[in-house]
């Protein structure tokens, strides 16, 4: 189920339009070295509930997704996947800071969980902590250099910081990876509104 609910996350965070098909991930980190602590093994019952929660969230049903994530955590309090999902829902529906706190719990259990990096980047962006958001998007890219929406997420952070060179640098990379999906988003979303009419920006999104 690699990156299956980006549209739900990114459309809500980055603008009103949908944002393609790279977002929610259940990909596991590379096997740990023998000297590293073993990653917690999530119980099957808890994992099954988490999968249902992801499906609900992918359909835009945050309430059901949160309920299912909480049920997954009742079965296994160390289900780092459910914690990360719960955290991003909290970031949208309660407060970014509450979500950040919960996602940190996920990362304390599995510090290499790539999806939690993505969720943390989103939560930090919601809280307008742009430098931290960039840092976590970059952690995703360190593991998954082809993750279009992490490149795009960084571009929007720089755009919100009014840093044109970096905004266009990262936007260009996102466009190279998926021009049909990215160009309409960049042209329509508020992050880049201040660059409308700018020749460098227009040459990227035309």
Strand ranges (E), the chain:
none
Ordered domains of the chain (ranges, CATH): 6-27+43-205 (1.25.40.10)
Confidence at 10, pLDDT banded by 50, 70, 90: low
- 154: tokens are 């960084």
What are the pLDDT digits (tens) for 120-177? 999 999 999 999 999 999 999 999 999 999 999 999 999 999 999 999 999 999 999 9
* Distance (Å, whole) CA 5 – CA 40: 24
pTM for the model: 0.84
* Distance (Å, whole) CA 127 – CA 84: 16
What are the pLDDT digits (tens) for 44-74? 999 999 999 999 999 999 999 999 999 999 9
Say if residue 7's pLDDT is above 60. no
CB 10 within 8 A of CB 21: no
Would you call 34 exposed, middle or buried from its count of C-beta atoms within 10 A (0-12, 13-18, 19+)?
Answer: exposed
Query: Which residues fall within 8 angstroms of residue 201, CB to CB, at 6 or more apart?
Result: 168, 186, 192, 195
Say if residue 15's pLDDT is above 50. no
């Amino acid at each position: 189920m690699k990156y299956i609910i980006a549209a739900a996350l990114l459309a809500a965070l980055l603008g009103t339009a949908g944002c393609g098909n790279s977002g929610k991930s259940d990909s596991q980190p590379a096997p740990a070295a023998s000297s590293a602590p073993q990653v917690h093994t999530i119980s099957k019952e808890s994992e099954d509930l988490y999968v249902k929660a992801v499906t609900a969230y992918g359909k835009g049903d945050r309430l059901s997704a949160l309920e299912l994530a909480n049920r997954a955590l009742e079965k296994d309090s160390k289900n780092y996947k459910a914690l990360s999902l719960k955290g991003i829902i909290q970031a949208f529906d309660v407060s970014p800071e509450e979500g950040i706190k919960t996602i940190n719990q996920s990362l304390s259990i599995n510090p290499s969980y790539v999806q939690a990096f993505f969720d943390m980047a989103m939560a930090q962006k919601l809280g307008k902590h742009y430098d931290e958001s960039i840092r976590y998007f970059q952690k995703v890219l360190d593991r998954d250099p082809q993750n279009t929406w992490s490149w795009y997420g960084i571009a929007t952070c720089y755009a919100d910081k009014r840093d044109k060179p970096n905004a266009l640098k990262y936007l260009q990379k996102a466009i190279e990876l998926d021009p049909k999906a990215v160009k309409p988003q960049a042209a329509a979303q508020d992050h880049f509104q201040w660059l409308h009419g700018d020749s460098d920006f227009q040459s990227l999104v035309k």
